[in-house]
Amino acid sequence: MVIVVDDASNPDVEIKTGKIAGFDLGLKTFLTCSDGTKIESPQFFKQSLNAIKKASRQHSKKLKGSANRERARKNLVRKYEDISNARRDWFWKLAHDLTNRFDVLCFETLNLKGMQRLWGRKISDLAFGEFLQILEWIAKKKGKQIVFIDQWYPSSKTCSNCGHVLEKLDLSVRKWRCPSCQSVNGRDENAAKNICAVGASTVGLDDLRRTLSAIVV
Ligand SMILES: [Zn+2]
């Protein structure tokens, strides 16, 4: 059920869904949702990066102090602006879509330094931090809740079906069978489900009741 609150003093539309979800952030798949849906990273990020590389090469080849170099510099700046605008645009749309679909959205606290070590330079291209900032801002406007769970919680190694915790899980393993309950867990979806469960347990009962009462008319 969807309730649209249309208040002239508050132009923002509030949609109550009564739904909570957990999200796993990744490189190729930008977001994996606990309900199984996946949001792939847009291809244009990669294309724009190639355009920047090319512009950067052209800039460095031009003679210092020349008009050509200045022209190449402006071109490079423009390419940077293009990619950050396109990315921000995509983040806004995604944040609106997610906050329309869910009332409570759970994420792991970002450990950007650790991610950078693990994944290299790409992490800054994806700018998870920027996305979460936009999402938090939109959620606040719409009366939705963003929950961050402890980054040290073993969301990938825990079976979302029975709670069994693996001793280790290699980064390359995309799917694993739980030795305890035999269920097969897709790495990202399993993590998202655990993040959702932990997030739900940290949301106070009052919050849940408020969410639920909002959808019962
Ligand atoms: Zn299990």
Residue 184 CA to ligand 1 centre (angstroms):
8
Please check whether residue 216 lies inside any domain of the structure: no
Are 204 and 29 in contact by the 8 Å Cβ rule? The answer is no
Percent of the chain beyond pLDDT 90?
57
Helix residue ranges per DSSP H, the chain: 43-61, 67-101, 112-119, 122-126, 128-142, 187-202, 205-215
> Taking Cα atoms as reference points, which of 131, 149, 111, 133 lies closest to residue 20?
149
Tell me: the pLDDT tens digits for 25-42?
A: 887 788 999 999 999 888
Please check whether residue 117 lies inside any domain of the structure: yes
Please check whether residue 189 lies inside any domain of the structure: yes
Please check whether residue 40 lies inside any domain of the structure: yes
User: Is 108 marked active-site?
Assistant: yes
Considering the candidates 6, 70, 97, 108, report the single residue annotated as catalytic: 108
Domains of the chain: total: 1
Considering the candidates 24, 125, 130, 150, report the single residue annotated as catalytic: 24
Cβ burial, residue 190 (10 Å; 0-12/13-18/19+): buried
Tell me: the pLDDT tens digits for 123-138?
A: 555 578 889 999 999 9
Question: Could you tell me the two tokens for 94?
Answer: 């995604």
User: Is 6 marked active-site?
Assistant: no
Please check whether residue 171 lies inside any domain of the structure: yes
For the residues of 149-189, what is the DSSP string, one character each? E-TTS-TTTB-TTT--B-S---TT--EEE-TTT--EEEHHH
**Spatial separation of the C-alpha atoms in residues 81 and 188, rounded to whole Å:** 32
Segments forming the whole domain that contains residue 145 = 3-211
The mean pLDDT of 80-87, rounded to a whole number, is: 87
Long-range pairs of 31-35 with CB within 8 A, sequence gap ≥ 24: 31/94, 32/188, 32/189, 32/191, 32/192, 33/192, 34/189, 34/192, 34/193, 34/195, 34/196
Are 136 and 52 in contact by the 8 Å Cβ rule? The answer is no
pLDDT category of residue 4 using cuts at 50, 70 and 90: very low
Please check whether residue 217 lies inside any domain of the structure: no
User: Is 24 marked active-site?
Assistant: yes
